[in-house]
Structures are given as C-alpha cells and as structure tokens.
Amino acid sequence: MLKYTYIPPLALEGECREALGVHVDSPTGPTYLCSSGKKHNVNGILMNYAIAEIAGRQFRIEEGAEIDVPRLKVEQGESVSLDKLLLTNWDGKVLVGGPYVDGASATAEVISHPRSEKIRVFKKKRRKGYRKGSNAREEFTRISIKQVKLPS
C-alpha cells in the first residue's frame, strides 16, 4: 500500500526541477515524485531500479535494498550474481528485454536464511469426530542488492 504525505519542495537532479511534494514508501527509504513522473531519493538523485527474475519469481530491485526471495542454495555472507534482468529503468531510460536485457546483471549479498511465521491449517467435519491439522513455514533468503550493471 502506498502512503502519501506532504513534504516541502526539494531540489532535484537532471531535467526535473520541481517536486510534487509527495513521497512514496520504498525499500530504500522515502522517494519523491517529480512533475515528469520520475522518482528521486531524499537527496534529489534519480531512483534507478530493475525487475529481476529470481528462483522463478519477479522482484523489483534497487541498489541498497534488502529483499526476501525464495530459499537460495548459497551460504550466508556470499555474493550472488543475478543475470536475469527483465527490465531496467536507469536515469529515466527504460530497457525492456526479450525476455532478458542482454549484458545487464546485478550483484547481491546473502544476509540470512530466515523462516516465515508458522501457518496453521486445521480441517474439521462437524459431528463426525474428524479433525486434522498441519503446519507450514516458508523458508526464504534475505539478500541485499549491492550493484546493478547495465549493458554498455
């Protein structure tokens, strides 16, 4: 869910010269929307992002962001190369791959391998004495995006 609040105008970089005075919650902190529809961080620098495919799912990645992905077979503290970038938005220039952007990749570091909260499943049929229960916990990997490389 996006949250919008009023923030005073900010000096932005590039051709963007006026902020709309709103910010959107983001994994890397608040971002500002300018009049041209581009996102800027707290310092006025353009927000760059990419859409990556990791373990069969798509994730929006930004440099410095921490995201939870399905469990990867990599030890804690090691780096992971993400070569399957579907889309990149860098300084307002959008590159769409078919299916992947050639030459684009990202580097991430594995922070931890936590588990989600326990989900309880309970089945019952009334007046029959039938009760059945089970539990489930999803395992995932928390990674930190260090760098996103674009094709030359």
Instruction: Tell me which residue of 60, 71, 78, 54 sits closest to 24, measured CA to CA.
Output: 60
**What does the pLDDT read at residue 64?**
85
- pLDDT tens for each residue of 3-50: 444 445 555 555 554 555 555 555 556 666 666 666 665 555 556 788
Question: Residue 33 half-sphere exposure, CB side, CA atoms within 13 Å?
Answer: 13
Would the pLDDT of 100 be above 70?
yes
Residues 42 and 70 reside in one and the same domain: no
Q: Is the dihedral of CA 28, 32, 34, 36 positive or negative?
A: positive
Alpha carbon 121 to its chain's center:
29
Would the pLDDT of 72 be above 90?
yes
Indicate the pLDDT class of residue 2, thresholds 50, 70 and 90. Answer: very low
- pLDDT tens for each residue of 107-117: 999 999 999 99
Domain end position, chosen among 47, 67, 84 = 47
Q: Average the pLDDT over each of 22-31, 87-96, 139-148 and give the range with the smallest value.
A: 22-31
Structure tokens, 67: 């995201």
Residues 8 and 40 reside in one and the same domain: yes
Note down the domain range covering 120. 48-152
Domain count, the chain: 2
The mean pLDDT value of the chain amounts to 80
Residues 54 and 111 reside in one and the same domain: yes
Give the integer Cα–Cα distance in Å for 148 and 88: 9
Residues 68 and 5 reside in one and the same domain: no
**What does the pLDDT read at residue 117?**
94
Residues 127 and 54 reside in one and the same domain: yes
Indicate the pLDDT class of residue 1, thresholds 50, 70 and 90. Answer: very low
